[in-house]
Amino acid sequence: MVSGVVSVGEQAPDFEAESTGGVFRLSSLRGRRVVLFFFPKAFTPGCSRELSEFSELYEEFKRLGAEVVGVSADKVNTLRKFAKRYNAAFNLVSDPSLEVAGKYGVVGRSGKTAERVTFVIDEQGVVRAVLRDLPRAEDHPHAALEALKSLAGQQP
């Protein structure tokens, strides 16, 4: 486990876990930008609005060369239902042991869920933005898009 949240400029910790699309490994996306968002619990109001917004903006993320991946402590079957309800065409990773959340330093205070934190990761696997403490859950997708757009001017 990492003490504290993974910071801008650090290598994003790799992980492998079960997801809505089968076994998922973060390093399999090397060479692409990644928006990795942690959320507390499927089907809660804030998480539902956040997933809905990520789903609506997914094509824009893809146009910017980014893949979106969500992570929560929910079981994969719950995440499949959640993804279906909100038309999420991207992977949702099941992290019931909070091992992945621990690697990123985003285990919630209760120790049973992840905090709502979004990481924008570049093609080399380096964290370029950490988004947390935003006013609303649905602000995360928009803030991630802005971070990606600013990266577009900095990298080839």
Choose, from 6, 34, 47, 76, the residue flagged as catalytic. Answer: 47
DSSP state letters, 86-100: TT--SEEEE-TT-HH
HEC per residue, 16-43:
EEEECCEEEEHHHHCCCEEEEEECCCCC
As a whole number of angstroms, the distance between CA 111 and CA 47 comes to 18
Q: Which two tokens stand for residue 11?
A: 């290598």
Query: Locate tokens 């570049």: which residue?
Result: 122
31 included as an active-site residue: no
Residues with a catalytic annotation lie at: 47
